[in-house]
Chains A and B, each alone.
Chain A
Amino acid sequence: MPELVVTVARFGFLILLWIFVFTVVGVIRRDLFAGARSGRLVAAPRGVGAVLGQGGKPARVKRGKAARQLVVTAGQLAGTRITLGEAQITIGRAEDSTLVITDDYASARHARLVPRDGQWFVEDLGSTNGTYLDRAKVTGPTPVPLGVPIRIGRTSLELRP
């Protein structure tokens, strides 16, 4: 084997090794930010019929965007994101909740978020300390606008597009 070929191969291998590392980092990085624009990925049925859907639903035309994510903004789970689908989200300390919050002021089955016609409703499930939408206590199913905090004990949640 010529010396030159071996040397080129040697350094080429090391460079390829680092290219692999950076490609993995790239995949992870895109993965991290995928959440910010993940709407298209989950709300596919709606996205495909986007033109029709928007025409038929004035509520969403007014708001412009549908909620695609539930983000925990304060409390122990701050930073957690749940991609919203078609299923309801239950919140509480019980292990079988969709979002299990370890908050001393939360009940086992505290509240739930239910989608109806593209709009999410928050509903208190008879919790001890109550659920608050912004400042108002939630008594019945209440529509949740984007970016308005839902407060449960020390935890704060928001719907994001």
Chain B
Amino acid sequence: MTVAATSNSPPTTPGGQGGVRLARSRRNAELSLLLLAMVLVAAYGAMVEASVLDTVTPSFWVPAAALSAVFLGLHVAIRFLAPFADPALLPSVALLNGLGVGFLHRLDLARATPAERAELATFAGIGGRQLAWTLISVALAAGLLAVVRDHRSISRYAYTLGLAGIVLVMIPAVLPPSISEINGAKLWIRVGGLSIQPGEFAKLALLAFFAYYLVRKREVLSLASRRFLGVDFPRGRDLGPVVVVWLISLLVLVFEKDLGTSLLYFGMFVATLYIATERVSWLLIGLVLFFGGAYLAYVLGELIGGPFANFYLRANIWLDPFADPYNDGYQLVQGLLALGSGGMFGAGPGAGQPLKLPEVQNDFIFAGLGEEIGLFGLSALLVVYLLIVERGLRAALAVHDSFGKLLAGGLAFTLGLQVFVIVGGISGLIPLTGQTTPFLSAGGSSLMANWLLIAILLRVSDAARRPVAGGGASSTRPPGGPPEQLHGAPTEVIRP
């Protein structure tokens, strides 16, 4: 076996270490997948031009080339900063991000008059802005990989991050509506022409805090508990701070009138708790609380309105979208019609009518894409999301430390839940709540936060897949010599 294995390793490196490590790190697989993704993005761009302009302009490849350059940059950064990171994450995300930019550029083309189309610059319009945001986000992700060399060091700032998360969530709630309100939801900080959605970043900060706190309390949570109605409940004082964090963010979100985000925080909280304690009872409690809360909000919305009126309206639209197809239900009905007219294989990129959809560049980008690539294409995109989430959960399973497990598991779950909430909303499975579609929707904050999320997943997966070998120091140790001391182990004590 050993001899056969040796012939498999690259013969060009007699030392073995360099070439063999590369083979394991699978960076070359990542590179080829990335190139395939970029070919897809370029093909999409060409087909959009062929449909909308009826000709393929000589510069159709410029956005795809810009994207390729920045993703290749991140790929090179990963080679140096996280050589053992998961090879499937970057190409999958790059494909989604690239198609998002392509679709937004397609909207620009459709909106522009024929005269304007010719001189639509690369960075103009929402497509161009998204392209610029992608460059910034990917640079930030590379920066995070460079700064955080070990994901466990995040846990040193857990309380700071928790506080930062709460502050970020609360800022839009206390700001006057003129600055923070767009379409009825108070989620933004608008300064000049720039609007920031701090909740997207709060998600990451709060999750890091949850993970750290639950790791510290995990033993107490799973051992010291009170049995009530056949279910083990943890003592209040152990759970206090987390519940407080969750309640605050939830209360604030009621005032910010955005149920999608509050559902996201709640799901995140329940999932982390479940991963930490391995008790199914938490999932049951979470589901009961959530459905109870949703029903209560519906009833309250019918009776007293106020902050719940928005949810009552949305639930009614969901129950019967065709009751008022020209006013209240207009957006959802148009989305359903777009998905329906797309059918199995879609109208073809650039051949649909996405401009009939309100908010097609944000919430309804999936319906807009669905009209053009059909169920066949949409399910491919959903599988890509599924693979990203699976790789995140895989990293969580494989990493050796509990903080990393909770962090990666929670982040991957959050990403999956966000896709479920928005795609479920668009397709009429659940009431529609405003959420961005990760990596596809127009918006800098969402893109940045999700790329940072991917950077953390890359970091954790790098730690998970790195061989335990202590590196050069331990291999040069004379054979038969005294074994290393316990604290010379390659792991590091994290005690704030």
Contact = CB atoms under 8 A, between A and B. Distances in A.
A151 interface: no
Given A14-B373, A14-B377, A20-B40, A99 B348 contact: no
A27 B46 CA distance: 28
A24 B470 contact: no
Nearest to B92: A24
Contacts of B219: 93, 102
Nearest to B14: A48
A130 to B, nearest CB: 18
Contacts of A7: 348
A41 interface: yes
B148 interface: no
Contact of A50 (B3, B21, B92): B3
A99 B401 CA distance: 8
A40 B486 contact: no
Contacts of A79: 397
Nearest to A116: B480
Interface string A82-119: 11111111100101111110101000010010101100
B194 interface: no
B491 A44 contact: no
B391 A28 contact: yes
A148 interface: no
A42 interface: yes
A77 B95 CA distance: 34
A50 B24 contact: no
B438 interface: no
Contact of B5 (A6, A39, A90): A39
Nearest to B382: A21
B47 A95 contact: no
Given A44-B16, A45-B16, A161-B1, A98 B87 contact: no
Most A C-beta atoms less than 10 A away, residue of B17, B373, B469, B484? B469
A26 B47 CA distance: 27
Interface in B318-373: 345-346, 348-349, 351, 373
Interface in B6-61: 6, 8-9, 14-17, 20-21, 23-24, 26, 29, 33, 36-37, 39-40, 43-44, 46-47, 50-51, 54-56
B240 interface: no
A13 B44 contact: yes
A24 B387 contact: yes
Interface residues of B, number: 83
B218 interface: yes
B402 A95 contact: yes
A20 B88 CA distance: 11
B43 A48 contact: no
A117 B491 contact: no
Contacts of B278: 76
Contacts of A16: 39-40, 43
Contacts of B91: 20, 24
Contacts of B373: 13-14, 17
A157 to B, nearest CB: 13
A25 interface: yes
Given A24-B387, A27-B33, A44-B9, A88 B483 contact: yes
- State the 6 A-B residue pairs at the shortest beta-carbon distance, nearest first: A85-B469, A87-B470, A40-B5, A44-B16, A10-B348, A41-B24
Interface of B: 1-3, 5-6, 8-9, 14-17, 20-21, 23-24, 26, 29, 33, 36-37, 39-40, 43-44, 46-47, 50-51, 54-56, 87-88, 91-92, 95, 215, 218-219, 222-223, 278, 345-346, 348-349, 351, 373-374, 376-377, 380-381, 383-384, 387, 390-391, 397-398, 400-403, 467-470, 474-475, 477, 479-480, 483-484, 486-487, 489-494
Interface of A: 1, 5-7, 9-14, 16-21, 23-25, 27-28, 31, 34, 37-42, 44-48, 50-51, 54, 64-66, 76, 79-90, 93, 95-100, 102, 104, 109, 112, 114, 116-117, 125, 161
15 contacts: A6-B47, A10-B349, A14-B380, A17-B40, A37-B5, A40-B2, A44-B17, A47-B20, A90-B486, A96-B494, A98-B468, A98-B489, A102-B222, A112-B486, A117-B480
